[in-house]
Amino acid sequence: MKLIECPRDAMQGLQEFIPTGLKIEYINKLLKVGFDTIDFGSFVSPKAIPQMSDTIEVLNGLELSRSNTKLLAIVANVRGAEEASIFEEISYLGFPLSLSETFQQKNTNKSIAEAFDQISEIQDICQKSDKTLVTYISMGFGNPYGDPYETDFVAQFVANLAEKGVSIISLADTVGLSNAANIQALFKTISAQFPKIEFGVHLHSDLDSSLEKIDAAYKSGCRRFDGALNGFGGCPMAKDELVGNIATEKIIHYLRKFDHQLGIDFKALDDALNFAPQVFLGK
């Protein structure tokens, strides 16, 4: 079971800049919790995502020596991958690939075809720098733009990624369109077709439907979950009304029923939960 905590996703849509020191303090608390991976920052244009302009400063302030948690950084192009690949502390590079042509342009200023070309180059960079590429299939459960979407369409994307050697894919529900039925249908279908790929989910949800989404993913075989403490976040490139991440504490509470060895330090988790409002709400 892998739990991926995503403070980067929780922070990036906030208009008011979070002080670098506060980010460092928060992520250092997260490093004590026992997550498999922390999605801590991104190597993207500061004009596009001003909140992430201090990613290197944050990285330099992290206390990694006493943590087994790995770091993931988001990149949107080859330039970002080249920059991120320099840092030995980073284990994973995450690339957002959209099923929606409209959103691919909005999110990374390139077409889907161009994005696939970029993935080939980024995969090569990862292999040369001993990193692993995680591809996020955004708009993975539909889109609000009227662009084509069906399960077979997703499977075509996965097949293309598999040919490029991508081994980890996270199905991202960018605007909260997933439900129990389509999560089960999609996850079961593609995980059966591509058994060598590690599939995860990065779900956005309102509070009322988050538990049924977690349940559907788990019962479909998902063992890799992204979340953000307190359910903060959402994609600033998606639409004006952000739909938050699923709260990590809800995922943990659900998974504990199945006696998984989650490796969570619950005292450290409570400390991070209590600190989070200072970061995201200024109190």
- DSSP code of 181? H
Task: Please give the pLDDT value at position 236.
Answer: 45
Query: For the segment 91-109, what is each residue's pLDDT rounded down to a tens digit?
Result: 999 999 999 999 999 888 8
Residue with tokens 């009227």: 146
Distance CA 24, CA 62 (A): 6
**Average pLDDT of the segment spanning 212-217:** 96
For 75-90, the pLDDT digits (tens) are 999 999 999 999 999 9
What was the pLDDT predicted at 243?
A: 61
Taking alpha carbons only, the member of 75, 157, 72 closest to residue 116 is 157
Tell me the per-residue pLDDT of 126-135, one tens digit each, with 9 for 90 and over.
999 999 999 9
Q: Are 121 and 128 in contact (CB under 8 A)?
A: no
Mean pLDDT, rounded, for 217-234: 91
- For the entire predicted model, the pTM comes to 0.94
pLDDT at site 207 = 75
Q: What's the mean pLDDT in 9-35? A: 95
Whether residue 48 contacts residue 40, with contact meaning beta carbons closer than 8 Å, is answered with no
Q: Stretch 65-73: mean pLDDT, rounded?
A: 96
Is the pLDDT confidence value at 230 over 50?
yes
Q: What is the mean pLDDT of residues 185-206?
A: 94
**CATH number of 2-280: 3.90.320.10, 3.90.226.10, 3.20.20.70, 3.40.50.720?**
3.20.20.70
Q: Is the pLDDT of residue 39 over 90?
A: yes
Structural domain spans, the chain? 2-280
pLDDT the model gives residue 234 = 57
Q: How distant, in Å, are the alpha carbons of 37, 98, 132, 252, 261 from that of 68?
A: 9, 31, 17, 18, 15
Q: Can you give the pLDDT at residue 238?
A: 44
pLDDT of amino acid 13 = 84
Q: How far apart are CA 140 and CA 188, in angstroms?
A: 14
Token duo for residue 203: 């779900």
- pLDDT on residue 209: 86
Q: Are strands 168-173 and 37-43 parallel, antiparallel or unpaired?
A: unpaired
Residue 261: pLDDT band (50, 70, 90) is confident
Over residues 129-152, mean pLDDT: 94
- How sure is the predictor about 240, in pLDDT bands with cuts at 50, 70 and 90? very low
Q: What is the pLDDT of residue 244?
A: 77
pLDDT band for position 196 (50/70/90)?
Answer: very high
Query: 283 pLDDT exceeds 80?
Result: no
- Judge whether residue 202 has pLDDT over 70: yes
pLDDT digits (tens, 9 = 90+) for 21-31: 999 999 999 99
- CA–CA gap between residue 106 and residue 110 (Å, rounded): 8
